[in-house]
Amino acid sequence: MAPIVSKIGIIGAGVSGLAAAKQVSHHNPIVFEATDSIGGVWRHCSYSSTKLQSSRCDYEFSDFPWPDRDNTSFPSHTEILEYLHSYANHFDVLKFVRFNSKVVEIKFVNDGQEATDFSGKPGSLLPGHPVWEVAVQTNDSDSVQWYAFEFIVVCIGKYGDLPRIPEFPYNRGPEIFQGEVLHALDYCKLDKESASNLLQGKKVAVIGYKKSAIDLALECAEANQGPEGQPCTMVVRTLHWTVPHYWVWGLPFYMFYSTRTSQFLHERPNQSLLRTLLCLLLSPMRHGVSKFIESYLLWKLPLQKYGLKPDHPFEEDYASCQMAIMPENFFSEADKGKIVFKRASKWWFSKEGIEFDDDTKVDADVVVLATGYDGKKKLKAILPDPFRSLLEYPSGVMPLYRGTIHPLIPNMAFVGYLESVSNLHSSELRSIWLARLLDDKFKLPSVEKMIEQATKEMEVSKKTTRFYKRHCISTFSINHSDEICEEMGWTSWRKKNWLSEAFSPYGSQDYDKEN
């Protein structure tokens, strides 16, 4: 069967996929969504208690405000899905989406040439003939339908779908455990009643200490109220700073990191020698801001009481987009003994529960692995050679120019792989940038210059945080967006207007789905 030929294919209908589809709608893209719904992680990787970590006005498309955007409460995942459906219906994006259509293979064709013949020169991004062929499996059928595209936008994201499972010593894995083991991804698939039945009256161990693990431990505590309830044990390897809200000693959080003045304290790519020297002179102020915030968090939250004070500065977690909102009643449950903490660098299973490298152990009936997702494995599963090998980058960060284009992969873009103070706005701006690129409104620089720019950003992140592999630009996100707007040829007033809407006044971050 001959492939169906189209200009642009988009893989994934989460937030990034919807943003991309809306911006390139004039090309009539085909959007492949493996499930029966839009929404991505908000639909398939959320607990009943999952909420956004910022207010609604900080998580909205620039041309589609929330109907109740002044509501200061954090919206639930169901409210976010309703908002995304409203957005998709308003801009008639759903007509492009093919649900229950899983991409199982991608081939590089380039008009009959082998992939290894690619010269690495961007050239025209829409040359008028297919560059990629995509195999799509619909409704779990045994057969596939092939499509041919001039350009592909990959929006499958870094989170969800494929869980990251820890490695264990021989005969010390889940196979010897007499209880139940599941990943947070499996827990997300349970309805509220099933989740409560799984946790109620059980000795539960949650592995992890990021947002998903924190929410899960709280759900476990709430399911085990009363004298018969069992405590939930959080097994913590790496500590991270958490915040109770977006005020610090009476000052709004955005003042510290999300204004042009505050970002002036941080190094950024392409800065002048004068600015580099000034940034060095102001480094004590930058460290002082971090200490100021830490002092509030240590006063407000019982981190030292429970041995949860991180060893690294707060700014490292902010610079890697790992700042999490602590639920209001989390530590009150810990005070009641419903949540307990175990610090451990190494652990493994036993028949009765979990054992640690300090010769202690915890009995458990249920172990939930809130250990994150393998986004790289998701990409490697569909990308062909030799492009698959380009994901094995020495730095651990995929070198994406403007967070979107891999300089060595032709006619393909990645939206949703760069994190910032607001991932929705990052995806929207990069989708606008991509649409203008595809419409030939501007040209890409040479491969060498694109790699150089991506390398500069990575080096800045390396200097700022040990967790740089998350590819987060929060400390220089305004400068990053300035450069994108200038490259698109936007006038200064238009750039200023878009950025004033796009950047969170609270400096908050979207719900962190990785653990």
Q: How much is the average pLDDT of 103-117?
A: 69
pLDDT category, 220, cuts 50, 70, 90? Answer: very high
Q: What is the pLDDT of residue 111?
A: 54
Residue 254 lies in a domain: no
Q: How much is the average pLDDT of 294-309?
A: 97
pLDDT category, 495, cuts 50, 70, 90? Answer: low
Answer yes or no: do 357 and 471 share one domain: no
Q: Cβ of 405: how many Cβ atoms within 10 Å?
A: 24
- Does residue 112 have a pLDDT over 50? no
Secondary structure (DSSP) of 169-224: -TT-SGGG-SSEEEEHHHHHTS-HHHHHHHHTTS-EEEE--SHHHHHHHHHHHHHT
Cis (ω within 30 of 0) for the bond into 386?
yes
Residue 389 lies in a domain: yes
Which of these three, 338, 369, 400, is where a domain ends?
Answer: 369
Answer yes or no: do 12 and 153 share one domain: yes
Residue 483 lies in a domain: no
Q: What is the pLDDT of residue 508?
A: 36
Identity of the highest mean pLDDT range in 142-156, 245-259, 469-483: 142-156
**368-404 per-position pLDDT tens digit:** 999 999 888 888 888 998 898 887 676 678 889 999 9
Answer yes or no: do 403 and 455 share one domain: yes
Higher pLDDT, 127 or 254: 254
Q: CA–CA separation, 481 vs 490, rounded Å?
A: 11
Question: 415 lies in which domain range?
Answer: 4-160+374-475
Answer yes or no: do 178 and 314 share one domain: yes
Residue 511 lies in a domain: no
- Using a pLDDT cut of 70, give the percent of the chain over it: 91
Q: How many structural domains compose the chain? A: 2
pLDDT category, 512, cuts 50, 70, 90? Answer: very low
Q: Which residue is listed with tokens 């995806």?
A: 427
Answer yes or no: do 53 and 178 share one domain: no
**78-107 per-position pLDDT tens digit:** 999 999 999 999 999 999 999 999 999 999
Answer yes or no: do 218 and 328 share one domain: yes
Answer yes or no: do 48 and 146 share one domain: yes
Q: What is the pLDDT of residue 324?
A: 86
Answer yes or no: do 312 and 418 share one domain: no
Q: For the domain that residue 409 is a member of, what is the CATH number?
A: 3.50.50.60
Residue 75 lies in a domain: yes
Q: What is the pLDDT of residue 404?
A: 95
Which of these three, 346, 369, 392, is where a domain ends?
Answer: 369
Residue 306 lies in a domain: yes
Higher pLDDT, 394 or 149: 149
- Poorest-pLDDT segment among 53-62, 114-123, 205-214, 401-410: 114-123
Higher pLDDT, 98 or 70: 98
Which of these three, 339, 369, 399, is where a domain ends?
Answer: 369
Q: CA–CA separation, 297 vs 192, rounded Å?
A: 32
- Does residue 118 have a pLDDT over 90? no
**159-216 per-position pLDDT tens digit:** 878 899 999 999 999 999 999 999 999 999 998 899 999 999 999 999 999 999 999 9
Answer yes or no: do 313 and 218 share one domain: yes
Residue 499 lies in a domain: no
Answer yes or no: do 50 and 136 share one domain: yes
Answer yes or no: do 455 and 383 share one domain: yes
Q: What tokens appear for 3 in the block?
A: 């492939």
In the predicted model, what is the mean pLDDT of the chain? 88
Residue 282 lies in a domain: no
**Residue 108, beta-bridge partner list:** 132
Q: CA–CA separation, 172 vs 199, rounded Å?
A: 24
Q: What is the pLDDT of residue 226?
A: 86
Answer yes or no: do 116 and 180 share one domain: no
Q: What is the pLDDT of residue 119?
A: 42
**328-360 per-position pLDDT tens digit:** 899 999 999 999 999 998 999 999 999 999 999
**Cβ partners under 8 Å of residue 14, min gap 6:** 38, 39, 40, 41, 42, 155, 156, 157, 416
